[in-house]
Amino acid sequence: MKKKQVNPIIDKITDNILEGYNPITSKDLNSVMKDIFENAIQKIMNKEFDSFIGYEKNDNKLDKDNYRNGYYSKNVNSEYGKMELEIPRDRNAEFEPIIVKKYERDISELVDMIFTLYAKGMSTRDVSDFMYQKYGVNYSPSQISQITNEIIEDARLWQNRKLDEYYPIIYIDAIHFNVIENNIVTKKATYVILGINSEGQKELLGLYIGENESAKFWMLVLNTLKNRGISKIDIICSDNLKGISQSIETVYPESKQQRCIVHMIRNSTKFVYYKDLKEFCDDLKTIYQANNISNAEENLDIFEEKWGKKYSASVLIWRRNWAEIITMFNYSPGIRKMIYTTNPIENLNSVFRKYTKTKRVFPSDDSLLKILFLASQNIMNKWSKSRVSNWSNILNEFEIINSKE
């Protein structure tokens, strides 16, 4: 049998390890490999940072756009056990390592599998059973819970990460879940904020759990977005969330507000008799599908004259929200199609429901945040590979409008 050829570099490294460490048992060898692996990871990361920052460590030149800002410690799990790494920091908080990603806490394949299964809605017991049957690894449900709990810190960091200065469009909506609070099952809202960035890509900006809708709450959320870097939003699309309009006017006074037309239709047809429904909806369509504001107003008058006595509350919904309905008529059909509904965020919420459908009740806010965060990471990876069609023309239109204001 032909002898296996060994790479001479590997052979030399092996000789040096055996001579320098003199491992006796496989446990000794594993400890050596852990030290080597940890050192190699650290060196690769430091090289990544040197390339990113663009100057040598002891370079004292002052004409720099960004600066080194020390290190922070991060514990990660590997196939060799737990390791402590020193992650380089820059003043602008823009460095994201490739060798160990920003929110990565485990660089072994098995724990990646645990996170994937948990994110897809499997219970800790189901994940435990799967790992044993598939890989012969005995993780207890409590160990699975401890492993996935490590993601909470990453979720908090993600919630407070730096955002772009400018987002042409932002969508805001709510999705509700059952959560145990003070030993009582409570229905809590998770407020989802989705942005379209200047590259035309969807970006999940934040998830806010449990607060009641109020102007005070929305002031807090919007000021958080501002503190994270967003200084300009062209259009904010939302349903009729309590207190949000006044808060937008205070925090982002230059932003236009667009009420979701789909929600408007749902709300105004709640009490319409079935026999009237088709005709009623056809008449509504003449309003929101009008060519311009003038035609829309004329059609609203006609609509009120026809249906006002029978369905006064439905007409009032459109009158009361008119200023935030007609925003879309100031834009071309391409932008109008994007903003007349919060469908982009509702599609995201449907994915969240898919991931959480096996969990009827969450034991805490953190357990809910954990699974939504893991699910969102999978979703955003897909978003990073696509952008809004015809985005160059859409962005150009925003730039022209902004230059006139």
pTM reported for the whole predicted model: 0.70
Would strands 166-181 and 202-209 be described as parallel, antiparallel, or unpaired?
Answer: unpaired
Which residue from 234, 264, 280 is spatially nearest to 404, judged by alpha carbons?
234
Compute the distance between CA of residue 6 and CA of residue 155 in angstroms, rounded to an integer.
44
At residue 226, φ and ψ (nearest 5 deg) are -65, -45
Q: pLDDT (tens digit, 0 to 9) for every residue of the chain, 405 residues total?
A: 556 666 676 777 777 777 777 777 777 777 777 788 788 888 888 888 888 888 777 766 556 678 888 888 888 877 677 788 888 888 888 888 888 877 777 666 667 778 778 777 787 888 888 877 876 667 788 877 877 777 788 888 888 899 999 999 999 988 888 888 888 888 888 889 999 999 999 999 999 887 666 778 888 889 999 999 999 999 999 887 788 888 999 999 999 999 999 889 999 999 899 999 999 999 999 999 999 999 999 999 999 999 999 999 999 999 999 999 999 999 999 999 899 887 788 888 888 888 888 788 888 888 888 888 888 887 887 787 788 888 999 999 999 988 876
Interior CA angle at 352 toward 351 and 353, to 5°?
Answer: 90
Question: Position of tokens 């987002």?
Answer: 167
Question: Cα(141)–Cα(138) distance, rounded to whole angstroms?
Answer: 10
Which two three-digit tokens encode residue 152? 């909470």
Crossing angle for the helix pair 8-21 and 26-53, to the nearest 10 degrees: 120
Q: Can you say whether the dihedral through the CA atoms of 113, 115, 120, 126 is positive or negative? A: positive
Tokens representing 296?
A: 């829309």
Tokens for 209, please give them: 């759990």
